[in-house]
Structure 1
Amino acid sequence: MALRTKTALLVGLFFLLHTWGVKAQVKVEMEDRVEVTLGTAAEIPCLYTTDVGFGGLIIEWFYLDPAGKRHRIYFQDPTMRIEETNSQFTGRIKVDVTPSQGSGQVLLRVLETRLGDELDFICLVKSLTDGNDQGKTQLRVFEKPAHPIIKSVDEDIWFNNEEPVKIGSCEAKNGYPRPSITWYKDNTPLSNVPNEVSVLSKETTESSGLFSVESELSLKVVKEDQGSEFYCEVNYQIIGGFGMLESEKKKIRVRYPSDEVNLWVKSPKRDIKEGDTVEFECLGNGNPQPLFTFRNREMVELNAINNVLELRNVSRLDSGLYECFTTDIETFEEVVGNTTLFVNYLEPADVSPEETLTLSQGADLNQSCNALSSLKTHTVWMKNGVKVATGNILSLRDVVYDMAGTYECMVTVPQLVGMETSAAFQLIVEGSPEISEPQSTSLEQAVESTVVLTCRARGNPTPTITWRSAGSLVDSQSNVTEDGVLSWVNVKVSSDLNVSCNASNTNGNVETLYSIKATGGSGVIIAVLIICLLLLAILGSVLYFLYKKGKICGRSGKQDLTKEKTSRDNIVVEMKSDNTEEAVLLAVNGDKTSGDQ
C-alpha cells in the first residue's frame, strides 16, 4: 500500500513538473576505455551531475553489439531496479550507485569477463523531466599468450646461392588480441626481402576465441650463417601497453666446402729442437672439416689422426716444407695448406787439441771447446763441480800440480731450455817432486823412545821416497795416493840425531831434514830413585846408632830426679841436663821407678 502511494506521488510529481515546463539539468562523464585481463572483473564508472535530487533520476545501462544495435542490460528509477534477462550479461553484472549532493557515481561491474564482453557500454542518466545525458566506455579484454616455441631444422643445411631454405618455425598460442611474431638473427630483426628472406605467418582462432600464431622463416644461407643464433619474439597487448616474450635461441649448421686450408705447428709452442715431438694441425674454412692428407717436402704421404700429424723424436733432417690438402667436391681441385718446419740442433761438444794433455810445470795451456749449433751457445768450464772459466777457450798460465785434473766444458743454448752438451779433457802436470812441509821439523823426544816420522811428496812421474839417518838408509813404508806418495819411518831415540826424507823422480829430487833432540829417559829416573832409597837407609842407621849411644833423647849428662807420689798408672819423670841439652818429659806407664842408667 505504501509502495503504491509512493509511486503515485512520484508520477504525480513528474506530471506536475512537466506541466509547469521545468526541465532538469543532467551531465554524464565516462572513461573512453576500461581494460581488463580475461576472467577478472571489469569496473566501468559513470559519473553524473544534476540539479535535482537523486530521487528524481532514472539510470539505464546498455551495450552495443558489433552491428551497432543498442541492448539494455539494466534499468533503475526511484521505485525499482531491473536486470534484463536473456542477456549475455545476465547474472554477471552488479550496479552500485553512490549519490552525493548534486552529483554521484554509477558503477557497473562485469564479473568473470569473457572475450565477447569486449563491447561499448552506455550509461544513460535522465531526470523525471526531459533533462538527460549519456556516456560511453569501451571495454577491452586481454590475454597473454603462452611462451613461444621455436623449432629449427635438425639436419645440416647446404649453402647455395639460388633460393631461401627453411630455417625454422615459431608458434605462440592462446593470446588475445592477436599477437605478432618477429624473427631475429644475432639480435638483428628480419623482414621479408625477395629471394633472400621469407617470413610466412599463419593465424588460428581457437575454440575459446583466443588466437594462436605460427611463423615460418626461410633464408638464403651463406657461409657466415654458420653458428648464427636465430630466435623469435612475440609481441602482444596488455593493460596499459604492450608485452614481449622471446623464444630460446637456436643455431643452425651450415655445410659448405673449404676453399682455404691452413697448416701450423700445434705443439710445442716454442722453437723446436732435436728430440722433440711435433704436432701439426690442419684446418679448412669449410664446415664440417674435411679429411686432410699430409705430406712432406719429398711428397711422401704421412699418417695422421683426426687431421693431426705427429712426428716423434725429430732431427734436423725433418726440417722442411709440410703440406696438408683436401679435394674440392665441386671443382675436384686440391685445396692446399703448408708450413715450414725448422728443427734446431746442437752437435756434441769437442775439445782440442787433445782430450789428454801432459804439460810441464810452468807451461801455459789454451784448450778450446766447440759445439756446432743452429742457435747462439754459451760455454762454461767446470772442475770438480766448480766453475773456473766461461767462453769456449780455457786459458791456464804457469801450470802447477794443483791445476792438474779433469776439466769439463758445458755448452748450452740459452734460448732453448734443455738443449745442452758437454765434453771433458784430462790435464797432467809433470815436474820435479814437491814435499808437503810438516808442521815442525825440530822435535824433542825422550831417550829410548820411538818416534814416527812422515813425509808426503807429489810429482810426475810419481816420486820415490828414501829415509837416511847418520848417512845410512832407514827402513820405511810407503803408500801411493791421489795426492802423491805418503811414507813413514819408526825412529828409536838414543841420542840427538838428524833424519832426512828424500823424494826423487826423473825430473829431480827434494829433501826435508828432521832434527831430533834427545832428553832424559826412564832409566835415569830409576837410578835416581835407587840412590835416594840408599841414602835414606844410611840416614836411618846413623840415627839409630846415635840413639843407642845416648846422643839423643837425654841419655847422657847430669840428671836430677824429683820423685813425686803418683798414681799407680801415671809416673812423671823430669830429666834435666846442662844448658846444651834439651829437657824432655817422659810419660811412662808402669810401677817401676826410674833411676840412673
Structure 2
Amino acid sequence: MALRTKTALLVGLFFLLHTWGVKAQVKVHMEDRVEGTLGTAVEIPCLYTTDVGIGGLIIEWFYLDPAGKRHRIYVQDPTMRIEETNSQFTGRIKVDVTPSQGSGQVFLRVMETRPGDEVDFICLVKSLTDGNDEGKTQLRVFEKPAQPTIEGVDKEIWFVNMEPVKIGSCETRNGYPRPNITWYKDNTPLFNVPNEVSVVPQVLMDSSGLFSVRSELSLKVVKEDKDSEFYCEVNYRIVGGSGMLESNRIKILVSYPTDEVNLWVKSPKRDIKEGDTVELECLGNGNPQPPFTFRFREEFITINNVLELRNVSRLDSGLYECFTTHIETFNEVVGNTTLFVNYLEPAVVFPEETLTLSQGADLNQSCNALSSLKTHTVWMKNGVKVATGNILSLRDVVYDMAGTYECMVTVPQLVGMETSAAFQLIVEGSPEISEPQSTSLEQALESTVVLTCRARGNPTPTITWRSAGSLVDSHSNVTEGWVLSWVNVKVSSDMNVSCHASNANGNVGTLYSIKAIIPPTASPTTTLATVIPPTDPPASTLATVQTDSAEKITSGTSGVIIAVLILCLLLLAVLGSVLYFLYKKGKICGRSGKQDLTKEKTSRDNIVVEMKSDNTEEAVLLAVNGDKKPGEQ
C-alpha cells in the first residue's frame, strides 16, 4: 500500500513537471578506457552534472555484447536499487553513488574480473523529466603469460637440404589477451620468407579464456648456423603498456663434410728448441670434426685432432701431415706443416781442458758450440766476466791468471737455451816473494822479533832462512798457493837475516837488516821487546815483518821523556823547599845570627827526598845539609 502511494506521488510529480514544461539538464562524463588485471576488482567511474538533486534522477548501467546489443545490469531511482539477475555480472558488481549539489559520481565496481568482462559499459543518468545523458567506457583486462619454453631438435641437420627444416618450438601459456611470439637468430628477428624461413604459430584457449601460444621455426640452414644461437621472444599487454619475456638460447647441430684440413703448431708460440713439448693441432672445415690420422716419415698415429710431442730433438724436425676421409667422396683430405727444432750442442774448449804454461807465455783458448741459431759467448773466472767472444786471449801470463775459466754460450733469441764448458790454467815458474812493508828494522837489544816471508811458485817453493851464514829454524804453512814461513830471531847485535824461496825453476830471496838499540832507561838485564812466535801466525802478519819490538821501544822512549820532565819538576820543587828552609834558619838574607843555639846539639838537620820513576824503576836520593860537624866529610 505504501509503495503504491509513493509511486502515485512520483507519477503525479512527473506529470506535474511535464505539464509545466520544465526539462532538467543532465551531462555525463566517462573515461574512454579502464584497465585492470584478471582476477582483481576494477572500478568504472561515471561523473554527471544536473540541475536537480539525486532524488529526481534515475541511474542505469548497461553493457554491450559482441553483436552490439545493450544489456542492463543495474538500475536505481529515488525509491529502489535493482541488480539484474540474468547477466554475466550478476553477483559481481557493486554501485556506489556520491551525490553533491549540482553534480555527482557513480562508480561501478566489477569484482573478480574475467576474460569475458572485456566489454563496453554504458552509464545512463536521466531526470524524472525528459532530461538525460549517457557515457561509455571500454573495460580491458590483462594477464601476464608464463615464461616461454624452447625446445630444439636433437638430431644433426645437414646443410645441403634444399628445403627449410625444423629448428625448434617455443611455447608460452595462460596469457590474456593472446601474446605474440617472435623468433630470433643471433639477435636478428626471423619472419616468414618463402623457401628460407617458416614460422607457424598455434593458438589455444582454455576454458577460463586464457591463451596459450606455440610457435615452430623451420629454417634452411647454412654452415655458419652451427655457431648461431636461437631463441624466442614473447610480447604481451599489461596495465598501462606492454611487456616482454625471452626464452633460453639454443644451438643446433649443423653437419657438413670436411673438404679442407689445416695443421699448425698450437704450442709453444715461439721458436722451438730441443727439450720442448710441442702440440700440433689439426682442424677441418666440416662439422662435427672427423677423426684424424697424423703421418711423419711413414709413421701413422690416429687420434682426435692434437698430436703431442714431448722432449723434442732435432731429429723430430720435418714435414708433418694430418688427413681424414671425405664422407661423401671418400677422398683423402690432407693438411701439413713443417716443424723445425732448434738445437745447441754442448760447448767444447780447445786445445785442452787443462793447460800448463810458463810465466810470460801467451794463451789463445777457443770455446765452440754448434747451434742452429746465432750464439753469444762469455768467459767467466770466479764468477766475474773476463772476456766475450769464443776466443779467450791471455798475454804474458802470470800466477794471478791461473785458475778455472768457464765459457758460457747462450742463444739470445731463445731464453733458456745455453751450454757451458771449462778449462783449468796452470802457470809454472820461479818463485815470487811478497815484499814486506819494511826490511830495515830497529829492535831493542836482547829482544825477540818474528820475521815472516811469503812466497809462491809452481812447483811450490821451499823457504829457508839464514843469519850470519847459518840456517835458522823456521815454521811454515801453505794457504791458497802461498807459502808462509816465519822465524823467531833474538837481537844480540846488529844483524842481517835472509829469506830464500826456491823451486826447480829458480830461487829468489829478501834480506832483513836489524839494528840493535839500547833504550836510554832500560837496565842491561831488562828485555824491552820480546815477541813469542805463534804456532800459526795471525792473518795480519802475512806478507809483513813483525815490528812489535820497535813499537815497544818507541813506547818506552816516550815514557822516559815523560819521566825526565816529571823529575825536573820535582827537583825544582825540592830546590824551592831547601831555599825556604835556609831562609828560615837564617843562612841567607842576613839571618844566620838568629839561629837557635839549642839545636847545635843535633849534628845537623837533614832533608831527604826520594823520587821514583814508574818507567825506569830508578830511585834518586837528594840531600841538602846544614852546618857540618868537625871531622865530617
For the residues of structure 1 that align with 2:451 and 2:53, how far apart are their CA atoms?
Answer: 152
Q: Where in structure 2 are the equivalents of 1:71-470 lying within 5 Å?
A: 71-296=71-296, 298-302=297-301, 306-438=304-436, 441=439, 455-470=453-468
Q: Show the counterpart of 2:592.
A: none
CA shift, 1:247, in A, is: 1.8
The offset of 1:505, in angstroms, is: 4.4
Q: Specify the code of the residue in structure 2 equivalent to 1:117.
A: D
* Residue matched to 1:16: 16
Judging changes above 3 Å, is the alpha-carbon distance between structure 1 residues 22 and 353 closer, same or farther for their aligned structure 2 residues?
Answer: same
C-alpha distance in structure 2 between counterparts of 1:477 and 1:236, whole Å? 112
**Corresponding letter in the other structure for 2:204:** T
Going from structure 1 to structure 2, the CA distance change for 1:2 and 1:400 (only over 3 Å counts) comes to same
Deviation at 1:490, TM superposition (A): 7.1
- 3-state SS of 1:99 partner: strand
Question: CA–CA distance in 2 between the matches of 1:515 and 1:472?
Answer: 16
Query: d(CA) in 2 for partners of 1:52 and 1:489?
Result: 149
Change in 2 beyond 3 A, CA 1:454/1:107 = closer
Kept after mapping to 1: 8 A contact 2:465/2:474: yes
Other-structure match for 2:560: none
Distance 1:401 1:7, change over 3 A: same
2:227 partner SS: coil
**Is 2:172–2:212's contact at 8 Å kept on the other side of the alignment?**
yes
2:116 partner SS: helix
**Root-mean-square deviation over aligned CA pairs:** 3.5
Q: Deviations over 1:24-62 (max 9, x none)?
A: 433333333322222222322333333444333322222
Secondary structure in 2 matching 1:146: coil
* Deviates most, 48-57 or 193-202: 48-57
Equivalent position amino acid for 1:133 in 2: D
Closer, same or farther: CA 5–408 of 1 in aligned 2, 3 Å: same
Cα drift, residue 438 of structure 1: 4.3
| Alpha-carbon distance in 2 for matches of 1:524, 1:391 | 70
- Give the distance between the partners of 1:581 and 1:177, measured in 2 at CA: 160
- Looking at structure 1, the residues matched to 478 and 106 of structure 2 have their Cα atoms a distance apart, in angstroms, of 133
Q: Given that residues 293 and 324 in structure 2 are in contact (C-alpha distance below 8 angstroms), is that contact kept between their aligned partners in structure 1?
A: yes
* CA drift at 1:220: 1.7
Compute the displacement of 1:311 (Å): 1.8
Query: Partners in 1 of 2:102 and 2:483 — Cα distance?
Result: 142
Structure-2 separation of matches of 1:453 and 1:242: 112
Residues 291 and 302 in structure 2, CA contact (< 8 A), matched pair in contact too: no
TM-score by length of 1: 0.79
How much has 1:388 moved relative to structure 2?
A: 1.8
Find the residue that maps to 2:416 and give its secondary structure. coil
Question: Structure 2 unaligned runs (5+)?
Answer: 527-597, 606-633
Q: Is the 8 Å Cα contact of residues 460 and 481 (structure 2) preserved in structure 1? A: no
Q: Does structure 1 retain, via aligned residues, the 8 Å contact 2:96–2:106?
A: yes
Counterpart residue identity of residue 305, structure 2: N
Residues in 2 aligned to 1:30 and 1:120: alpha-carbon distance in whole angstroms: 12
Q: CA deviation at 1:214?
A: 0.9
Cα distance in 1 for residues equivalent to 2:315 and 2:525:
92
1:467-525: CA deviation from partner (whole Å, max 9, x where unpaired): 555445667777676525556667777766544443444543323334456789xx974
Structure 1 range deviating more: 319-328 or 497-506: 497-506
Partner letter of residue 177 of structure 2? P
Does the residue aligned with 1:348 lie in a helix, a strand or coil?
coil
1:176 Cα shift?
1.8
Change (3 A) 1:18 1:375: same
* Structure 1 gap ranges (5+): 527-575, 584-597
Structure label with greater radius of gyration: 1
- Asked if the contact 1:349/1:423 (under 8 Å) is kept, the reply is yes
CA distance in 2, matches of 1:111, 1:231: 38
Q: 1:454 to 1:254 in 2, by over 3 A?
A: same
Pair 1:201–1:468, CA change in 2 (3 A):
same
Report SS of the residue matched to 2:18.
helix
Asked if the contact 1:303–1:309 (Cα under 8 Å) also holds between the matched residues in 2, the reply is no
Q: Calculate the TM-score normalised by the size of structure 2.
A: 0.75
Identity of aligned pairs, percent? 86
> 1:487 and 1:241 mapped to 2: Cα distance?
111
Deviation at 1:119, TM superposition (A): 2.3
Deviations along 1:113-149, one digit per CA (max 9) or x if unpaired, are 2222222222233333333333333322322222222
Structure 1 contact 235–242 (Cα < 8 Å) conserved: yes
Aligned residue identity for 1:214:
R
1:16-55 correspondence to structure 2 within 5 Å: 16-55=16-55
- The answer for the alignment partner of 1:511 in structure 2 is 509
CA distance in 1, matches of 2:293, 2:342: 26
Q: Which amino acid aligns with 2:128?
A: L
* Aligned partner letter, 1:175: G
State the alpha-carbon separation in 1 of the partners of residues 318 and 116 from structure 2.
83
1:540 alignment counterpart: none
Paired with 1:499 and 1:77, the residues of 2 have a C-alpha distance of 155
* Alpha carbons 1:146, 1:172 under 8 Å: kept: yes
CA contact 2:379–2:408 (8 Å) conserved in 1: yes
